[in-house]
Amino acid sequence: SSQGERSVRSARRRGEASPWNSEIMAPPPGHCLLLLCALGTFALSRFTRGQKNSTLIFTRENTIRNCSCSADIRDCDYSLANLMCSCKTVLPFAVEQTSYNGHLTIWFTDTSALGRLLNFTLVQDLKLSLCSTSTLPTEYLAICGLKRLRINTEAKHPFPEQSLLVHNSADGDAKEKPVLLHKGWQTCMYISFLDTALFNRDSSLRSYSVENVASIANNFPDFSYFKTFPMPSNKSYVVTFIY
């Protein structure tokens, strides 16, 4: 009735509750918490799905730890890596030939396992961190398809991380399809030779490239890799030396 409506309006002006609006209430706090939790879980799952994990490999005490990490880990912090990443132990003789399309970081104290991990392995973005003060011998790692290299020698020299763009071919991704050789080794058109003795020096990273190399074995006879694992002769290569 009109009289009832006037009573409601009068009660609202005085701040009193009325029988007509007593049921119009804010949702209970519990419902809000459930809604916020659901929204937070959804947003976190979308964010996590959008992230790409990086691979961290470190060698310690004759074992190799292969880790998948969702965040960057401070170099050579083994405890933090075991805590924050999903890691598994791999025996050195059980290392299999594989490829890495994303970021690969390797912490090492000597060169004993680097050859098994990197020789003729497809790695596009590589970071090598020396975690000891050891003097390394002159050994050459043959890395397939390397586009960017970063090195950290803070354990030996107090210098910041160095970075080197090896190649950035527009059609590199299309051509970087490794061909399997016998025993699972790979070959591709971009090959980088990295001198491990560079970790002994406090100078900047340097490199030079040779294009249209028809026969790596004939042009670089000092590299014994190609005597054991011959490269296909119907290809031309871009060879980069990093030192």
Answer whether residue 131 shows pLDDT above 60: yes
Cβ neighbours of 194 (radius 10 Å): 27
Is 34 a domain residue?
no
Cβ neighbours of 154 (radius 10 Å): 14
DSSP code, position 118: H
Look at the block and give the residue holding tokens 């490794």: 178
Total structural domains in the chain?
1
Query: pLDDT at position 171, please?
Result: 45
Is 33 a domain residue?
no
Residue 91 has φ and ψ, to the nearest 5°, of: -75, 145
Q: What tokens appear for 191 in the block?
A: 């090959």
Question: For the segment 63-114, what is each residue's pLDDT rounded down to a tens digit?
Answer: 899 999 999 999 999 999 999 999 999 887 777 778 898 899 999 999 988 9
Nearest alpha carbon to residue 95 among 137, 57, 151: 57
Is 190 a domain residue?
yes
Is 226 a domain residue?
yes
What is the domain range of residue 90?
54-168+186-242
Query: For 21-25, 67-71, 135-139, which range has the lowest pLDDT when averaged over its residues?
Result: 21-25
Look at the block and give the residue holding tokens 């591709």: 188
The average pLDDT across 188-201 equals 92
Q: Which of residues 156 and 168 earns the better pLDDT score?
A: 156
Is 111 a domain residue?
yes
Is 220 a domain residue?
yes
Is 162 a domain residue?
yes
Question: For the segment 38-67, what is each residue's pLDDT rounded down to a tens digit?
Answer: 554 444 444 344 457 999 999 877 789 999
Dist. CA 155–CA 134, nearest whole Å: 9
Mean pLDDT of the chain: 77
Q: What is the pTM of this model?
A: 0.72
Is 97 a domain residue?
yes
Question: For the segment 171-182, what is each residue's pLDDT rounded down to a tens digit?
Answer: 444 445 554 444
Confidence of residue 9 (pLDDT cuts 50, 70, 90): low
